[in-house]
Structure 1
Amino acid sequence: MGKYSIEEFINKTKQDEGENEYFELETPRILEVNLSDQVWAKAGSMISYNGQIKFEREKMLEHGVGKMFKKAFTGEGSSLMKATGNGRLYLADQGKKITILELDNDSITVNGNDLLAFEPGIEWDIKLMKKVAGMMSGGLFNVTLKGSGKVAITSHYEPLTLLVRPGENVITDPNATVAWSGHLQPDFRTDISFRTLLGRGSGESIQMEFSGDGFVIVQPFEEISSSGTSS
């Protein structure tokens, strides 16, 4: 069998039949969900499946009136779909790198554009950074997840985790910030000259400042959603 034969390609890239974890990284950019009940995933992230699986768009009142109003206010920056049934489900989001995190009775806040999927038992809530709503188009929309179970997040290229310690604040670009410890509350600051000095246009630069004890995950890419809302 030749080095570049179709058979060799199939052997190198075929799905792993032996995997049986709820979430598995089939490749660094494709998530396999071994579905036996249901899972919440980013709408439009399904690339393939087998078995008997039904897909439903998140219903307006499925998660309560409060979350419905928040989603309306944020312009529904990240719609969810529910997959129910039995089978293998494959998810991806624009070729972004996928990271699986297992929550153990703790919490994490994820940029609304970078949340790919999570187990149905995890509690979630939408957060809108109101302080920045007037400074960025549409504000900044995030999802706080808490409880126990797996969460899959995405990033452009390899993510970097920055440790936040008392007295050692971490400052990030909002469009490059993927997630952070659920108990951290970022502050927003502006720097009029920052982008001008870097040759990136005029006007104010908005930065997120994290203080306390925890972590922040960033990506080497500034992401702005197609709707015009900063992600």
Structure 2
Amino acid sequence: MNPTDSFAGISGELVDGRYSENEEAAVANQNQRMLRVRIGEPFFARQGAMVAYQGNVDFAFEGGGASRFIKKALTGEGLPLMRCSGQGDVFLADLAKDVHLLKLENSALSISGKNVLAFSSSLEWNIERVKGGSMLTGGLFNTLLRGTGWVALTTDGPPVVLNAAEAPTFADTDAIVAWSANLQTSLVSSMKASALIGRGSGEAVQVAFSGPGFVIVQPSEGIQFPVA
């Protein structure tokens, strides 16, 4: 059946097939800013990220357990999740940010909770302190995904992927999206350059990376508020 048959009497680029559902794979980018997941096994997605679905799909709150709840309260690293199950297709997006799909094969990825869109239930996840940081520095807790499966992350604009093995690599804490969990991390403060590095006020702090692996950095440090 021609996909446009059900739009009899209506024509134009929106209904000529170019925006039809992407059927290439069970989990795939529908477009640059939207993910489509055809449910086989249940998966986790950011609460509020569902923009449409077809079929019989159930959405349930995923609390993550008492230990993760305590870590979230203490660290501020929030990852509000819902469990998606049933039969059908789910379309996910987050404020029209760019969506990127990664597959993990017995590997681990450290990712900022605000950049997580969805991931397969086969992956283990937890909130962990970034090595080299401390509770007093703040903002240095990430979500660790480990195992075999897929993860969809978002970036506020087209990112850059840096190879940390090529040279010492540093990134602003608010611009970092994710990195290979095997990388060595530490904190670097630039008191004298605080007015030049980053967009925050006060002491400038970056995360330093070393070892074989990559760092994903987005061209945004989040919403900035003027200092009173």
TM-score normalised over the length of structure 2: 0.85
Q: What's the CA shift for 1:190? A: 1.1
1:31 correspondence with 2:35: yes
Q: Deviations over 1:7-35 (max 9, x none)?
A: 3222255323633x231100110000011
Deviation at 1:225, TM superposition (A): 9.8
The DSSP-based 3-state class of the residue aligned with 2:195 is helix
- Output one character per residue of 1:137-191: Cα deviation in whole Å (capped at 9) or x when no partner: xx2331111111111111011111101127x210000111000001123211211
Distance in 1, matches of 2:171 and 2:69, equals: 29
Query: Structure 1: which amino acid aligns with 2:61?
Result: R
Distance 1:122 1:215, change over 3 A: same
Contact 1:190 1:207 in 2 (8 A): yes
Using the alignment, how far apart are the partners of 1:154 and 1:129 within structure 2? Answer: 20
Aligned residues: 215
Match of 1:41 among 28, 41, 45: 45
Question: Does the CA-based 8 Å contact 2:77-2:127 persist in structure 1?
Answer: no
> Deviations along 1:38-64, whole A, 9 cap, x unmatched?
1101111111101011111113xxx44
Name the CA distance, whole Å, in 1 between partners of 2:129 and 2:175: 17
Partner residue of 1:197? 196
Contact 1:37 1:86 in 2 (8 A): no
Cα deviation per residue 1:68-123 (whole Å; 9 max; x = unaligned)?
Answer: 32122234622111111110100001111111011111111111110111111111
Work out the percentage of aligned pairs sharing the same amino acid. Answer: 37
Deviation at 1:218, TM superposition (A): 0.5
Q: Structure 1: how far apart are the matches of 2:44 and 2:50?
A: 11
Aligned counterparts of 2:115 and 2:66: Cα–Cα separation in 1:
24
- Pairwise CA distance, 1:199: 9.4
1:194–1:205: 8 Å Cα contact kept in structure 2? yes
Q: Which amino acid aligns with 1:119?
A: S
Partner of 1:102: 103
| 1:132–1:188 Cα contact (<8 Å) kept | no
The answer (yes or no) to whether the contact 1:193–1:203 under 8 Å persists in 2 is no
**2:166 equivalent to 1:157:** no
Deviates more, 1:106-115 or 1:63-72: 63-72
CA 1:109/1:9 → structure 2, altered by over 3 Å: closer, same or farther? same
Larger proportion of helix: 1
Contact 2:197 2:204 in 1 (8 A): no
Partner of 2:6: none
2:128·2:142 contact (CA, 8 Å) conserved in 1? yes
**Aligned pairs (5 A) from 1:74-223:** 74-75=75-76, 77-129=78-130, 131-136=133-138, 139-165=139-165, 168-197=167-196, 202-223=201-222
Change (3 A) 1:163 1:72: same
Is this contact kept in 1: 2:115–2:155, CA < 8 A?
Answer: yes
Which residue of the partner structure matches residue 54 of structure 1? 58
- The runs of 5 or more residues in structure 1 that have no matched partner are 227-231
Alignment-derived partner of residue 229 in structure 1: none
> Runs in 1 of length 4+ with deviation above 3 angstroms?
197-202
- CA RMSD of superposed structures (Å): 2.4
Determine the C-alpha separation between the residues in 1 that align with 2:198 and 2:30.
40
Unpaired runs of 5+ residues, structure 2, are 1-9
Matches of 2:200 and 2:214 in 1, distance apart?
30
- Taking a change above 3 Å as real, the CA distance of residues 35 and 199 of structure 1, as seen in their structure-2 partners, is closer
